[in-house]
Structure 1
């Protein structure tokens, strides 16, 4: 099924989770939980039919928002919604909110597409998406969602009662919708240095960081009957090579016996609280570029390396400038989008049922 891109951030997160779960279960035979989900889906569909007895939730300009439109958006989300609800009452409340959000998103989608196509004056031509763009997008959908099998794709269209002409219009509207949202984001994405500094000064606590080490590790597994001293001797041989100039990364790739060997022993940034005490204490006593003495455990010998360090405290503004810019750009984009949508809703014709 082609997924509309008109869902809000909350719906997208739900949808991705639901689709991943559904993919994991695709090969499984029907189970009791699957049957329960089917029954719940039927209940949801019956509820929609009861709520919108004439099959229409809203009219936007001259476009109806139908119960089938809503059902198609909500159906993949029901299992996730069920898992997140502790009882039937909570499920019903979340479902009502989800239905309302889906309806509003579908309305906004129609208004946005209309805004793209609207003439500014009599001399303007109606803007259209080039046919080649639509052809390419349909080909992508056919390959990605139907394994390139055109017969499956056409069967999907028949199941929705759609002609190819209908589907091309739907794809065109999706392209327009995403283009318009992209243009809106661009227009609100410029953040001034003054605003970045102001945000930093007002939110310094957000940029506090604990002690952290960019850690490398070599693990040497204990052979049967091997003593602690023998392990220490093996570890010291590698430490001697490191001090003689061999890079820690090369030593780890050659001698380490854990899953991080292929990455040169790189374990990324680790906080003190992320590690066992027998690792954290010697590691955080080191400076950048140093290695620990061999650390012996029942499993074997470990050599830890400090590739880089971050000390506890408020991070300098230069270290978080990009992060702040991203936060502010998102906030500005969201506010700009809401104002834009409010204007479209105010100027457009919308009738709810």
Structure 2
């Protein structure tokens, strides 16, 4: 069964099942339910309020899904949770700006379209079980009408993003240029040599120990000596040294950190389910780029996404500049 939070996360493209009609008349932007009118405002966009309850319900729904998705990766979990909270208000502001634009051009989100959206969610996410859907709503502290309102905002946002992005046409020349410009993206992960220090969470004050060792290493401490004395992994007797390896063979966040860490640098402390890990990337062998024809579909999608995002970003800059946006603070 699909997590309810996935239906409260704005995405760039709208589904084919979402219908939008353009008529000659405008409409007022969807407002918060009556029971939320006493909420403190965290922002006002062209006179329309964004309330604490709006912010809380969006962040709660998204963070619940993130907690489930990254339960075994505390570092990734912490980063994703921070990103949601940091971006939530901006997302709601953008939702309102795009809703204003939607209604200016005569957009109408008919009730039957929202009902079709709800039916689709129940069918695809809850195998047609409306009772299971309603139970999930209750578990998330959402009334059905509030869920509809949030979905309406998100659907309008996605419709407008798709409209702004428009049709993207690419040429063989532009694809080849995009491929050459981003060769590393089409290359294999290559190989890396690294050293690690691993502190088991069974160690007393494990986090403090890991932070202290990281400080020593960052200040020029002997990595191999520290690994031999303090590391709990199977490479400790070799001073934390690993043989050449494919970084994608490492687990989750460790792999991502290794790929992002420059040669000769020491990573931040990486929190895993049962340990804290510090990595030093000693050397790299870059992977060979895949032939253009073998990744042409990926290159095409990448270039089209880049153009679409650029158009949307440019339009949002214009809309924000032209709007009356007042932020009262989300804390």
Structure 1 length-normalised TM: 0.45
Q: Which has the higher helix share?
A: 1
Tell me which structure has the larger Cα radius of gyration: 1
The TM-score, its normalising length taken from structure 2, stands at: 0.48
